[in-house]
């Protein structure tokens, strides 16, 4: 591995990761936190980032990969600026999340798991968002939207 | 023993086992996947389901995993009932949803645990109509082939690779039915025990790439019990043969030695048997230095002349040749004229190591003992690279702490995940003093890097701490404390550091510890498969090679017989020149072409471990017999056989009565008190079981009649084996033969999991006993001190320390193509500060004493003033461990480099 | 009717901060415990209260805690973990409690930790609950400032640190042993029991995992006593519970009601009954991994044993309504897809059996089913559905809606097969 190719972690990232390290008995225990911290700054976890984190936590990239790919909210591929997490669990399904998905797909030209060509949005399914009394629900970035209709979705995505 | 009830019948079972083990031990066929006797239970595959009833009244019962359920007195189970069988059939059906139907082209076919279990549960018809998941495969290096689509997600691979063998570059990825076992990216698997994946994986995900390239089904492999010649640990192997070629090496279970696992040098390093550099025919040298192949009887006639009674004879034996061969050579030339064939340093060190073992009051640890140690001190021996299987055992030893913690919670040791979760990173102490980093550093508490002399000093500090004195360093007193606190402390050292002081210090620690704890254990490594055997045969009168060279100069040697030894690896070019220039009659016996063979007037082609029999003494002092898996072809003969013929050619009476290998072995045993037990290492050649010899071929061995049909439709008579209790045949029984077990197969169990059918209980020792006899259990009182250290050059300030490589340092294995591919370039290593002082960068090279340049690697784990050299490489042969040398930066390295790399080994072909 | 859990929560009311919480009597239970109660006293109170876990399984909380070794001699950490991974389909109660009244949870956690003498407490919160996590972090900081957390809490000599750990996704993290694996930074595979986490949990140390709502109850039990708590329930079980209703009802939502409240009161009373034009066909009483109940069960009390006897589970107490215009096969398939996707992949019946079952349901729903499929479904229920068949409770939970749907809505499956299409047409 050419050392120049390996990204290094930023000051802020390192500080945040080291803060997590203070609470754990061995470095690799902070793996998930570290992946999330880096993703917070970079949007996703590239191979380079993965190597940098693995080195910092004194674990192998292979082990870290095993952890990263287990969790659905660690993105190992580039995502858009905003990630749309569309709840497709049962209450939202009853209330029409499939239709919402088709609306989003039509409007943005992407299917589940895809990113728009302008890199603005990535559409992903998510487990029940705990907003079932206001189903259907979804998150865009960190914001929860609920009581959605195809019309309100169109407005949301267009106006955003 | 307690009583458990299975399907209405009472059985005795051992408490402490789980129900799966108990069922298998009782001979009941209960399918399983994720369980492994060496790795315990995790309950992932759910294949071993049985129904457990609450009490005598309970008729419904509930499904439990046998592997997760402890044996308890009076417990009642159903194995064969509908509920349990349907469940197990459903499990296989689920596993087969995504499994490709590629058995015909799968290298696992015919020895596939998944195939066996599928048949066992009676799954036949596919109900699933969906698509199969598919995966991309990875390049994992030259040894192991990866085919992920066949995966059944039993987790055995990563549990073995990561948890058991300490590897870091293979992991379970993703989740749900997308789980993938592989590396982050393509690349050579880094762990030196990766090859066991081939046997650990119950299906064809990880297969032996070297076998795949010239593939043979297991049922067509002829196998024999054998012993690995890769190092001195003496792991038991099962080589497989077809069409006269060695196809693969599999593990041969031995509860006291290697258990279920080999190292990759052992598994993949036997390719030299098929090497084009094997010697096929006897050859005589012409005046111009070329060789002509000659008939064996012509060769013996020529030999008779060279061995005439009034000729002054000498011999050089070999630490990689069998006891019997070495013994006959000694008989032929006389003990006082026979060198054991060690290098100059080893000539003092190996007998000294033997002597320490003989004198040691402590038990010499078998691998099984090593695993049971609860405090380990490693002194100067980089076992991962010199005695690899010991490193794997040490990884298990540090888990002793985990098992103690588990016992406090009454957790069974086979509750693998639970025990690991409980202990997390708590380990029994393993401390090491080494001259550089090692692969065991990750499990070590203290890793102290210092040169061999300092190692000895530190060790002596530990001795004084053990004796109640104060140690001069915190680590030494720490180490002394934990050794004293341990129930089964173990000291690991060996001749690897090439330092008598290190060995002496190790023995001193053992002696001090043993006084307070009789359970103290010792393990001393020696380099080659029969180093200890050669030492056992040698004595004070045995000359070193250099001593023979001096005699040669004086004209005291007319004929020199060199047995399976490439002297270029043992002594300096100067010594060699003295030998070669002063002795005109050299008879060389070897299996492979070497630079030494090319100096001989008469060359006799030898068989290898694969086509001969012999006894080797491992570093544990265990004498073990290997048997041929291939009948000898061409004019190749076992070394001992050639030597017998030479003795007869020389009209030696004492050779006349030695008619069989057994007779040679018995003569050797009779001659040396310490070797008296070797005859018991294996049954005699006339042994029969149920009226027949033990078959090398399984019942389903096919196509024997057609194998030579392209040559002649008449089937030749099967080769008769007059020397061993084994037959080149399918006829006979391979049951209960213990150390003689040639292959594992049992009805319904085609895979290697069949081994439990041969064990006294699932996971226990083989019925019929573990292979080999321990020779050194009696303490002998021969007091002595290390033989004089040969004078070491002190021409400069840089201390040379050997750096061993599992792939590259060993003579034979490196002549297997795949091992050569992994061996890499020889290097000189030194730390950054030292490199800077010499003006060296990462891409530079050094010349030592004006010799050819060798690439430099900066390695900060080396102590200052030391230069580590890749031991066993041609380019580093002139370097002597422990000497102090002058060095200079190589000029024009970059431009000369490609040229140097491309120059070949330099040995001339016969 | 008392509603202790939501006393600080009302629609439109801002989230309760330290000031508001204390003003409303907050941290009185903690003060009392630190001043007067030994850990043993607290344990006794919780045991006497008959509190049962609100995370789904309903295990008696006091009994769970009593398994934690209390010998002073064993050195090392002990842990309390709040399970705030709420991801069970149709469950929306813990978020409310954390976002709107974080101090109630923290007080409960301190008391729980004190009882088992834990020195470190974690809130393991699902990744998407950003607001709840932020409010908890703020509240924890306020507690440190007030001396409710940290060294020598309220001068009692007891020390506790509290941390919020935000997850990275995956429903299985809610399973308590998988949660522990996740907290250790590993793949969230569940662990076999025994050993139970109470003895060997996080980092191999004694650990208690409790649901958010369970821990919120502790605050009140310690402050007001076991008898008071028991008196809150109107049926067999003690205390109040957050019940929720989602689906096609007029007024979906979440309410704090006494344990033992009749189901009809919740669905028809609080939730206002079915939306116009929709009829009730059935409901999952406690989240996506409970068995369907139907109209005949409406008068049952929401008590653990009552619902259990009716063939389902209390689960999380948040109900999902199946109406007459929603395809039961489609609904079961949606749930099955969810569980198949969220399987950790450790054990065979779940990893491979759930996708297989999903596949059959997909074929039936899309008119590709065949007559053997119902038998295959029944087979898979027997194969995957029983506790003990799998390594953890995810897969048996996944089979509950299916097995009860086959019981109550079998004709729907058969109509799919005979018509070779979904009779409900396009879902929603
Ligand atoms: C697949 C699965 C998911 C679970 N998810 C949650 C969860 O999100 N929140 C929760 O409190 N309990 C969840 N549980 C239950 C927990 O395992 C555990 O029983 C609970 O946290 C104990 O808390 P309690 O005793 O307070 O109920 C889940 C269980 C399973 C099998
Ligand atoms: S039941 Fe499912 S989630 Fe639970 S351990 Fe098995 S595979 Fe994992
Ligand atoms: S062998 Fe028992 S569950 Fe796998």
ipTM field: 0.96
For residues C241 and C248, what is the distance between their CA atoms, to the nearest angstrom?
22
> What pLDDT shows up at residue B896?
61
Band of pLDDT at residue B778, cut at 50, 70 and 90? confident
For residues B345 and B792, what is the distance between their CA atoms, to the nearest angstrom?
9
The 3-state DSSP class for residue A158 equals helix
Band of pLDDT at residue B787, cut at 50, 70 and 90? low
> What pLDDT shows up at residue A5?
45
CATH no., domain B2-95: 3.10.20.740
> What pLDDT shows up at residue B489?
98
DSSP letter at B159? I
Q: Across residues B603-623, what is the average pLDDT?
A: 97
Band of pLDDT at residue B903, cut at 50, 70 and 90? very low
What lies within 8 Å, CB to CB, of B733 at 6+ separation is B689, B690, B692, B694, B695
Beta-bridged to residue B585, according to DSSP, are B559
Interface of A with C in 45-64 (CB under 8 A): none
Band of pLDDT at residue B789, cut at 50, 70 and 90? low
> What pLDDT shows up at residue C397?
97
DSSP letter at C262? B
> What pLDDT shows up at residue C71?
84
CATH no., domain C328-427: 1.20.1440.230
Q: Is C195 on the interface with B (CB under 8 A)?
A: yes
Backbone angles phi, psi at A121, to 5 degrees: -125, 145
> What pLDDT shows up at residue C277?
96
CA-to-CA dists, residue B51 to B6, B78, B653, C68, C178, angstroms: 9, 5, 71, 31, 26
> What pLDDT shows up at residue A4?
44
For residues B107 and B205, what is the distance between their CA atoms, to the nearest angstrom?
9
The 3-state DSSP class for residue C187 equals coil
pLDDT in tens, B766-777: 999 999 999 999
> What pLDDT shows up at residue B909?
32
The 3-state DSSP class for residue B185 equals coil
CB-based contact B695:B726 (threshold 8 Å): yes
For residues C208 and C115, what is the distance between their CA atoms, to the nearest angstrom?
11
> What pLDDT shows up at residue B895?
63
CB-based contact C339:C112 (threshold 8 Å): no
For residues C253 and C287, what is the distance between their CA atoms, to the nearest angstrom?
14
Kindly state the tokens that stand for B602. Answer: 């008469």
pLDDT in tens, B122-169: 999 999 999 999 999 999 999 999 999 999 999 999 999 999 999 999
Is the pLDDT confidence value at C72 over 80?
no
CB-based contact B838:B865 (threshold 8 Å): no
For residues B401 and B852, what is the distance between their CA atoms, to the nearest angstrom?
49
For residues B227 and B282, what is the distance between their CA atoms, to the nearest angstrom?
27
Angle at B628 between CA B627 and CA B632, to 5 degrees: 150
Closest C-chain CA to B64: C388
> What pLDDT shows up at residue B891?
87
From A30's Cα to the closest Cα of chain C, the distance in A is 6
**In chain C, % of residues over pLDDT 70:** 99
CB contact under 8 A, A127 and C89: yes
pTM recorded for the entire structure: 0.96
Domains of chain B by residue range: 2-95, 282-346+533-682, 363-386+402-519, 798-909
For residues B439 and B388, what is the distance between their CA atoms, to the nearest angstrom?
10
Q: Is C403 on the interface with A (CB under 8 A)?
A: no
Q: Across residues B792-810, what is the average pLDDT?
A: 92
- CATH fold, domain B282-346+533-682, is Rossmann fold (3.40.50)
For residues C240 and C224, what is the distance between their CA atoms, to the nearest angstrom?
14
Pocket-forming residues, ligand 1, beta carbon under 6 Å: C 53-57, 59, 61, 83, 85-88, 172, 174-176, 209-211, 214, 392-394
Stretch(es) of chain C classified as CATH 1.20.1440.230: 328-427
> What pLDDT shows up at residue B897?
56
CB contact under 8 A, B171 and A63: yes
pLDDT in tens, B660-684: 999 999 999 999 999 999 998 888 8
Kindly state the tokens that stand for B563. Answer: 């047995």
Is the pLDDT confidence value at C2 over 80?
yes
Instruction: Name the strand (E) or helix (H) holding B265.
Output: helix B264-268
Q: Which CATH number fits domain B363-386+402-519: 3.10.450, 3.40.228, 3.40.1440, 1.10.760?
A: 3.40.228
The 3-state DSSP class for residue B184 equals coil
> What pLDDT shows up at residue B783?
59
Kindly provide the residue ranges of all beta strands, DSSP E only, lying in B540-627, ordered along the sequence: 559-563, 585-590, 602-605, 614-617, 622-626
Architecture in CATH for domain A82-159: 3-Layer(aba) Sandwich (3.40)
B901 vs B74, residue with greater confidence: B74
pLDDT in tens, C395-420: 999 999 999 999 999 999 999 999 99
Q: Across residues B284-294, what is the average pLDDT?
A: 94
Is the pLDDT confidence value at B905 over 60?
no
B417 lines ligand 3 (CB under 6 A): no
Stretch(es) of chain C classified as CATH 3.10.20.600: 240-323
CB-based contact C149:C143 (threshold 8 Å): yes
Segment among A134-148, B55-69, B892-906, C66-80 with least mean pLDDT = B892-906
Question: What distance in angstroms lies between residue B409's CA and the mean position of ligand 3's atoms?
Answer: 23
Nearest by CB to residue C352, choosing from B43, B97, B155, is B97
pLDDT in tens, B432-486: 999 999 999 999 999 999 999 999 999 999 999 999 887 778 889 999 999 999 9
How far is C-alpha B692 from the chain's CA centre?
A: 31
Q: What is the dihedral of CA B94, B96, B98, B102, to 10 degrees?
A: 180
Give the DSSP per-residue string, A120-144. SEEEEEES--S-GGG-S-EEETTEE
Number of Cβ atoms within 10 Å of the Cβ of B898? 8
CB contact under 8 A, A66 and B171: yes
Terminal-residue alpha carbon distance, chain B: 63
Interface test with C, best of A57, A65, A70 (most C CBs within 10 A): A70
Interface test with C, best of A29, A38, A89, A95 (most C CBs within 10 A): A89
> What pLDDT shows up at residue B703?
81
Q: Which residue has the tokens 């054991």?
A: B340
Q: Across residues B819-841, what is the average pLDDT?
A: 95
Beta strands B206-208 and B144-146, pairing class: antiparallel
CA-to-CA dists, residue C86 to A128, B232, B572, angstroms: 8, 58, 74
Nearest to B870 by CA among B855, B860, B887: B855
Q: Which residue has the tokens 């008729």?
A: B59
Residues of A in contact with C288 (CB under 8 A): 89-90, 128
> What pLDDT shows up at residue C322?
98
DSSP letter at B162? I
> What pLDDT shows up at residue B425?
93
User: Is the peptide bond prior to C239 cis by the omega test (within 30 degrees of 0)?
Assistant: no
- CATH fold, domain B798-909, is Barwin-like endoglucanases (2.40.40)
Q: Which chains touch B (3 or more CB pairs under 8 A)?
A: A, C
Pocket-forming residues, ligand 2, beta carbon under 6 Å: C 172, 190, 343-347, 350-351, 390-392, 394-395
B380 vs B908, residue with greater confidence: B380
Q: Across residues B572-583, what is the average pLDDT?
A: 94
Angle at A10 between CA A6 and CA A12, to 5 degrees: 155
Residues of B in contact with A59 (CB under 8 A): 168
Band of pLDDT at residue B785, cut at 50, 70 and 90? low
> What pLDDT shows up at residue B627?
97
Question: What distance in angstroms lies between residue B152's CA and the mean position of ligand 3's atoms?
Answer: 12
Kindly state the tokens that stand for B447. Answer: 């890793």
Beta-bridged to residue B9, according to DSSP, are B6
From A31's Cα to the closest Cα of chain C, the distance in A is 5
- All residue ranges of chain A with pLDDT < 70 are 1-7, 160
- CATH fold, domain A3-70, is Arc Repressor Mutant, subunit A (1.10.10)
Is the pLDDT confidence value at B385 over 50?
yes
Is the pLDDT confidence value at B910 over 60?
no
Is the pLDDT confidence value at B232 over 80?
yes
Is C4-231 in CATH node 3.40.50.11540? yes
Interface test with B, best of C352, C387, C395 (most B CBs within 10 A): C352
Q: Which CATH number fits domain C240-323: 1.10.4160.10, 3.10.20.600, 3.40.50.720, 3.20.20.10?
A: 3.10.20.600
From C211's Cα to the closest Cα of chain A, the distance in A is 15
From B149's Cα to the closest Cα of chain C, the distance in A is 14
The 3-state DSSP class for residue B5 equals strand
> What pLDDT shows up at residue B72?
97
Question: What distance in angstroms lies between residue A113's CA and the mean position of ligand 2's atoms?
Answer: 24
CB contact under 8 A, C334 and A93: yes
């Amino acid at each position: 591995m050419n050392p120049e190719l390996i990204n290094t972690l930023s000051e802020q990232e390192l500080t945040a990761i080291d803060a997590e390290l203070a609470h754990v008995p061995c470095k690799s225990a902070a793996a998930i936190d570290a992946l999330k911290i880096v993703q917070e700054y970079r949007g996703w976890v590239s191979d380079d980032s993965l190597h940098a984190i693995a080195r910092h936590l004194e674990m192998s990239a292979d082990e870290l990969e095993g952890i990263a790919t287990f969790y659905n909210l660690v993105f190992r591929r580039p995502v858009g600026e905003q990630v749309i997490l569309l709840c497709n669990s049962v209450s939202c399904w009853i209330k029409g999340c499939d239709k919402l998905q088709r609306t989003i797909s039509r409007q943005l030209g992407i299917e589940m798991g895809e990113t728009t060509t302008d890199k603005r949005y990535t559409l992903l399914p998510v487990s029940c968002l705990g907003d079932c009394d206001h189903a259907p629900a979804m998150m865009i970035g960190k914001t929860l939207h609920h009581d959605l209709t195809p019309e309100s979705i169109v407005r949301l995505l267009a106006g955003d | 023993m307690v009583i458990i009830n299975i399907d209405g019948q009472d059985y005795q079972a051992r408490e402490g086992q789980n129900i799966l083990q108990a069922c298998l031990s009782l001979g009941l066929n209960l399918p399983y996947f994720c369980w492994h006797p060496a790795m315990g239970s995790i309950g992932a595959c759910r294949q071993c389901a049985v129904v457990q009833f609450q009490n005598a009244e309970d008729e419904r019962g509930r499904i439990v995993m046998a592997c997760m359920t402890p044996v308890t007195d009076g417990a009642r189970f159903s194995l064969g009932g509908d509920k349990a069988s349907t469940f197990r059939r459903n499990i296989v059906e689920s596993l087969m949803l995504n499994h490709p139907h590629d058995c015909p082209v799968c290298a696992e076919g015919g020895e596939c645990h998944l195939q066996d279990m599928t048949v066992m549960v009676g799954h036949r018809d596919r109900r699933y109509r969906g698509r199969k998941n598919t995966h991309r495969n990875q390049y994992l290096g030259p040894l192991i082939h990866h085919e992920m689509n066949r995966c059944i997600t039993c987790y055995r691979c990563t549990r073995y690779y990561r948890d058991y063998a300490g590897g870091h570059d293979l992991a379970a990825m993703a989740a749900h039915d997308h789980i993938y076992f592989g590396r982050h990216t393509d690349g050579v698997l880094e762990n030196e025990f990766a090859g066991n994946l081939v046997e650990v994986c119950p299906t064809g995900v990880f297969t032996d790439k070297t076998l795949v390239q010239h593939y043979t089904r297991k049922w067509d492999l002829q196998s024999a019990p054998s012993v690995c010649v890769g190092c001195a640990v003496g792991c038991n192997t099962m080589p497989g043969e077809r069409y006269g070629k060695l196809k693969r090496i599999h593990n041969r279970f031995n509860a006291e030695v290697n258990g279920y696992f080999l190292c990759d040098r052992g598994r993949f390093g036997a390719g030299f048997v098929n090497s084009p550099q094997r010697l096929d025919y006897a050859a005589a040298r012409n005046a111009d230095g070329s060789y002509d192949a000659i008939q064996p009887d012509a060769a013996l006639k020529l030999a008779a002349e060279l061995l005439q009674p009034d000729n002054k004879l000498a011999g050089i034996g070999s630490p990689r040749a069998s006891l019997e061969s070495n013994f006959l050579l000694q008989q032929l030339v006389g003990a006082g004229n026979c060198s054991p064939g060690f290098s100059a340093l080893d000539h003092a060190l190996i007998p000294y190591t033997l002597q320490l073992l003989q004198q040691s009051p402590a038990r010499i640890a078998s691998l099984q003992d090593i695993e049971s140690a609860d405090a380990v001190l490693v002194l100067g021996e980089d076992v991962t690279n010199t005695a690899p299987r010991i490193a794997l055992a040490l990884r298990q030893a540090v888990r002793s702490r985990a098992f103690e913690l588990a016992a406090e919670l009454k957790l069974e040791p086979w509750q693998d995940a639970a025990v690991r979760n409980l202990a997390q990173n708590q380990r029994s102490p393993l401390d090491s003093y080494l001259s550089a980093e090692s692969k065991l550093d990750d499990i070590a508490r203290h890793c102290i890097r210092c040169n061999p002399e300092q190692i000895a000093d530190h060790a002596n500090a530990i001795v004084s701490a053990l004796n109640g004195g104060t140690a001069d360093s915190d680590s030494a007193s720490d180490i002394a404390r934990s050794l004293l606190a341990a129930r089964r402390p173990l000291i690991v050292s060996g001749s690897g550091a090439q330092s008598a002081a290190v060995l002496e210090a190790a023995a001193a620690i053992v002696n001090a510890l043993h006084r307070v704890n009789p359970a103290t254990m010792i393990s001393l490594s020696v380099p080659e498969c029969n180093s200890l055997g050669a030492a056992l045969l040698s004595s004070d009168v045995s000359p070193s090679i250099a001593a023979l060279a001096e005699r040669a100069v004086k004209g005291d040697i007319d004929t020199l017989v060199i047995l399976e030894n490439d002297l270029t690896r043992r002594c300096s070019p100067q010594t060699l020149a003295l030998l070669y220039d002063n002795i005109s009659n050299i008879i060389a016996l070897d299996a492979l072409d070497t630079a030494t063979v090319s100096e001989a007037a008469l060359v006799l082609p030898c068989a290898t471990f694969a086509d001969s029999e012999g006894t080797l003494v491992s570093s544990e002092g265990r004498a073990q017999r290997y048997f041929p898996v291939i009948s000898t072809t061409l004019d190749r003969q076992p070394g001992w056989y050639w030597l017998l013929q030479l003795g007869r050619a020389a009209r030696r009476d004492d050779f006349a009565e030695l008619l069989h290998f057994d007779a040679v072995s018995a003569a050797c045993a009779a001659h040396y008190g310490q070797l008296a037990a070797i005859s018991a290492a294996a049954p005699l050649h006339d042994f029969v079981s149920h009226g027949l010899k033990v078959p090398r071929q399984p019942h389903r061995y096919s196509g024997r009649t057609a194998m030579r049909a392209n040559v002649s439709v008449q089937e030749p008579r099967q080769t008769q084996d007059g020397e061993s209790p084994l037959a080149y045949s399918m006829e006979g029984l391979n049951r209960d033969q213990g150390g003689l077990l040639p292959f594992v197969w049992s009805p319904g169990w085609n895979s290697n999991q069949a081994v439990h059918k041969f064990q006294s209980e699932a996971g226990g020792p083989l019925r019929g006993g573990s292979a080999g006899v321990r020779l050194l259990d009696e303490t002998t009182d021969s007091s002595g001190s290390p033989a004089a250290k040969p004078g070491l050059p002190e021409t400069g300030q840089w201390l040379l320390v050997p750096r061993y490589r599992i792939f590259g340092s060993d003579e034979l294995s490196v002549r297997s193509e795949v091992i050569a591919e992994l061996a890499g370039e020889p290097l000189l290593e030194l730390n950054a500060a030292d490199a800077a002082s010499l003006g060296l960068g990462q891409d530079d090279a050094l010349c030592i004493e004006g010799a050819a340049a060798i690439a430099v690697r900066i390695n900060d784990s080396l102590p200052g003033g030391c230069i580590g050299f890749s031991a066993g490489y041609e380019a580093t042969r002139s370097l002597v461990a422990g000497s102090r040398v002058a060095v200079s930066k190589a000029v024009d390295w970059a431009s000369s480099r490609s040229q140097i790399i491309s120059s070949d080994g330099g040995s001339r072909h016969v | 009717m008392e509603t202790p859990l939501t006393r600080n929560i009302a629609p439109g009311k801002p989230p309760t901060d330290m000031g508001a919480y204390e003003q409303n009597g907050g941290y009185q239970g903690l003060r009392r415990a630190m001043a007067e109660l030994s850990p043993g006293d607290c344990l006794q109170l919780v045991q006497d209260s008959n509190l049962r876990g609100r995370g789904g399984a309903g295990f008696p909380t006091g009994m769970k805690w009593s398994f934690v070794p209390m010998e002073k001699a064993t050195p090392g950490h002990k842990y309390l973990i709040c399970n705030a991974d709420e991801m069970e389909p149709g469950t929306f109660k813990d978020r409310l409690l954390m976002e709107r009244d974080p101090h109630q949870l923290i007080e409960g956690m301190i008391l729980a930790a004190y009882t088992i003498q834990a020195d470190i407490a974690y809130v393991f919160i699902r990744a998407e609950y950003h607001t709840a996590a932020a409010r908890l972090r703020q509240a924890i900081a306020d507690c440190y400032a007030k001396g409710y957390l940290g060294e020598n809490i309220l001068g009692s000599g007891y020390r506790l640190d509290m941390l919020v750990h935000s997850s990275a996704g995956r429903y299985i993290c809610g399973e308590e042993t998988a949660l522990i694996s996740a907290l250790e930074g590993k793949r969230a595979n569940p662990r076999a029991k025994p050993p139970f986490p109470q003895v060997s949990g996080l980092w191999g140390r004694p650990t208690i995992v409790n649901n958010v709502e369970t821990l919120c109850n502790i605050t009140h039990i310690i402050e007001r006593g076991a008898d008071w708590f028991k008196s809150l329930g109107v049926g067999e079980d003690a205390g109040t519970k957050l019940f929720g209703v989602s689906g096609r009802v007029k007024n979906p939502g979440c309410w704090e009601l006494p344990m033992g409240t009749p189901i009809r009161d919740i669905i028809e009373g609080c939730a206002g009954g079915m939306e116009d034009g929709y009829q009730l066909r059935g409901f999952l009483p406690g989240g996506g991994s409970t068995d369907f109940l139907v109209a005949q069960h409406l008068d049952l009390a929401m008590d653990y044993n009552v619902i259990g006897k009716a063939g389902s589970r209390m689960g999380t107490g948040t109900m999902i309504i199946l109406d007459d215009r929603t395809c039961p096969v489609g609904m079961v398939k949606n749930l099955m897809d969810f569980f198949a996707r969220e399987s950790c992949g450790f054990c065979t019946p779940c990893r491979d059996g759930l996708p297989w079952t999903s596949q059959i349901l997909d074929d039936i729903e899309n008119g590709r089913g065949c007559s053997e499929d119902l038998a295959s479904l029944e087979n898979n229920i027997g194969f995957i559905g029983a506790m003990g068949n799998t390594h953890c409770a995810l897969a048996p939970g996944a089979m509950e809606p299916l097995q009860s749907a086959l019981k109550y809505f079998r004709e729907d499956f058969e109509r799919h097969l005979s018509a070779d299409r979904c009779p409900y047409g396009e879902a929603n």
